Amino acid sequence: MWETTLPLYQQVANKIKTDIIANDARDGEAIPTETKLAEMYEVSRVTVRRAVKILIEEGLIYSVHGSGTYVSGKKIEHDIYKLQGFTEEMSGLHNNPSNEILEFQLTVPSESVREYLNIGENQKVYYVKRLRLADGQPLILEESYLPFELFPDLSVDVLKQSKYEFIDQKGFNISKRYADLKPILPSDELMAQLHLETKDPMLCLEACATFDDGTIFEYSKVYYHPIKYTFKLVSEK
């Protein structure tokens, strides 16, 4: 079954990939366990582990700690130049978006957050941490700060739906987002929240969003799943 020109683990990786394609495996479908793959291909579990690692790095499969290894769907191509909410983006891709509210509190912000939001020392803000999911799979972890003065009726129920739709319905006109996109290494907490198996670099978008009158209404940090998200950039000469 095996040749001598390629390392055995690479051949096993190629065989697993071929079988996934041949079986027309769906997004989220589990592949056999490490032990089962070793039996199927008559190789050691160490070889299988290295082969699986290659396919995870390629984005073909992903691993969920304590659960198993699954087939990845097509990566979501995020248009970094388009200002839209997660719910709108996922609905446009025919995915079913949902939000899990991990934290929601009214607090006195740090000096740096006040500077980002351009608010006074005594003004309070909402701190919100949301896990954004599509078809039940975690894609994004979002931390955001919003001035209480602008949104006194913000609630958990609102945040379980579309935040931007709520803002639009209040009569505000969302205009621009000023952002920095940078690579980071995920913390253990972030790995658990996004179901990441390995501590690979991921992208974090740190941003301030404004209304059309220049008012800053949100400061946020958005962490994107490194396997399920890709960023689309178009350059013209």
Q: Is residue 1 part of a domain?
A: no
Who wins on pLDDT, 218 or 23? 218
Ranking 14-23, 109-118, 201-210 by mean pLDDT, the lowest is: 14-23
Could you tell me the pTM of the whole model? 0.68
Residues 201-216 have a mean pLDDT of: 93
Would the pLDDT of 192 be above 80? yes
Whole-number percent of the chain with pLDDT over 90: 44
Contact at 8 Å (CB) between 125 and 117?
A: yes
Residues 146 and 162 in one domain: yes
Residues 135 and 220 in one domain: yes
Which stretches within 95-154 are classed as H helix? 111-117
Q: How far apart are CA 26 and CA 36, in angstroms?
A: 20
Q: How far apart are CA 157 and CA 165, in angstroms?
A: 13
Residues 26 and 56 in one domain: yes
Most confident of 14-23, 42-51, 66-75, 132-141: 42-51
Rounded to the nearest 10 degrees, how much is the dihedral formed by the CA atoms of 140, 141, 147, 148?
110
Residues 16 and 132 in one domain: no
Would the pLDDT of 125 be above 60? yes
Is residue 210 exposed (0-12), middle (13-18) or buried (19+ Cβ within 10 Å)?
middle
Would the pLDDT of 58 be above 80? no
Who wins on pLDDT, 72 or 216? 216
Range of 226's domain?
76-232
Which of 54, 71, 88 terminates a domain? The answer is: 71
Residues 82 and 62 in one domain: no
Residues 29 and 98 in one domain: no
Which of 26, 41, 71 terminates a domain? The answer is: 71
Q: Is residue 237 part of a domain?
A: no
Token match 């939001």: residue?
117
Domain count, the chain: 2
Q: How far apart are CA 40 and CA 23, in angstroms?
A: 15
Contact at 8 Å (CB) between 223 and 194?
A: yes
Q: According to the model, what pLDDT value does residue 132 have?
A: 87
Torsions phi, psi for 115 (to 5 deg)? -65, -40
Residues 196 and 89 in one domain: yes
Which of 71, 96, 121 terminates a domain? The answer is: 71
Q: Is residue 3 part of a domain?
A: no
